Amino acid sequence: MAASDSVGADFAALMNSASTQAGKEAKDYGYTVDRETGQRRPKKAAGRPRKNPPPQVEDTVSSSDGVPQEHATDPEPGWWTDGKIEHLPTEVSKKVKDEISGFAGLIVLTVGPVLVRSDPYCGGAFVDHSQAIVDAAIPLLCRSEMVVKFFSDTSARWMEWVALAIALRPVGEAVIKHHITHSVKIVEQGGEKLLVPQDWSEYPTDEPVAA
């Protein structure tokens, strides 16, 4: 016993569309808590309008998510400038400056004698004015991110680098004597290599060579 296809189908289709429409309208009215079941359900009617409507949101509200445009995206962090991470502190502390100054002084004490020995005139000028050179170089060194980070983060380790420089000083002196000033020469004699000092005093460079 079934209804005819046309009448039953039309009625069912009408109820289906009405139910769908009712669901949409209920969602448009918002939600409420059912008094009987205590469950949250869509409102069946719009209900009485509020006596004190909420204040109108400014025009800066975006229509999509209700968030003002100025707060739609989080501001960039303070350390982020033009897509590049800025680690350099704005002001170098006096402690870091003293560390750099001490390191430069040790470099002068290490390299200065070598330079004086190889070139007394130029090396002497460098050693005599080393303090002024270091004082003038510190502001320039503080501009370097790498230098400041080195003395800020690894201030306890730069002495190891100074120790390495002191250890390498004899090597530097030997290289200068052998390959730059040629004051020494290696001579092979009887299957052995001997270090022979060279005397260039008879070959002055400040006298014209006789034709």
Partner 1 sequence: MSGKHPASFQKRDESSHPLIKHALDEGYLNSGNAYLVTGFTDHDSANQGRLSVNRGGRHFNIGTAAYVVDANGEKCWEYTPEGIVCRDPGGPHQVHVRFFSKDAARGHIVQSTGGDPSKLRYNPWKRRSVKRNDDGSER
Assess 18 for contact with partner 1 (CB under 8 A).
yes
**x-marked contacts with partner 1 along 90-129 as a string, rule CB under 8 A:** ----------------------------------------
Two tokens, residue 31: 């939600």
CA nearest neighbour of 169 among 110, 108, 103, 107: 110
Q: Which is nearer to partner 1, 6 or 56 (CB)?
A: 6
Question: Binder to partner 1 among 1, 140, 146, 171 (CB under 8 A)?
Answer: 1
CA atoms within 13 A on the CB side of 86: 10
Q: How far is C-alpha 5 from the chain's CA centre?
A: 76
Pick the piece of the chain touching partner 1 (CB under 8 A) from 12-20, 87-95, 153-161, 165-173: 12-20
Which one of 11-19, 72-80, 119-127, 172-180 is the stretch in contact with partner 1 (CB under 8 A)?
Answer: 11-19
Rounded distance between C-alpha atoms, residue 75 and residue 62, angstroms: 17
Which residue's CB is nearer to partner 1, number 4 or number 64? 4
In the complex, least distance from residue 10 CB atom to partner 1, rounded to whole angstroms: 7
Length of the chain: 211
Stretch that binds partner 1, among 7-15, 98-106, 167-175, 194-202 (CB under 8 A): 7-15
Q: What's the closest the beta carbon of residue 77 comes to partner 1, in angstroms?
A: 48
Q: How far is 169 from 77, CA to CA, in rounded Å? A: 47
Mapping DSSP to helix (H, G, I), strand (E, B) and coil, where does residue 40 land? strand
Regarding 45 and contact with partner 1 (CB under 8 A), the answer is no
- CA–CA separation, 101 vs 134, rounded Å? 7
How much is the CA Rg of the chain, to the nearest whole Å?
Answer: 44
Q: Minimum distance between the CB of residue 34 and partner 1, rounded to whole angstroms? A: 12
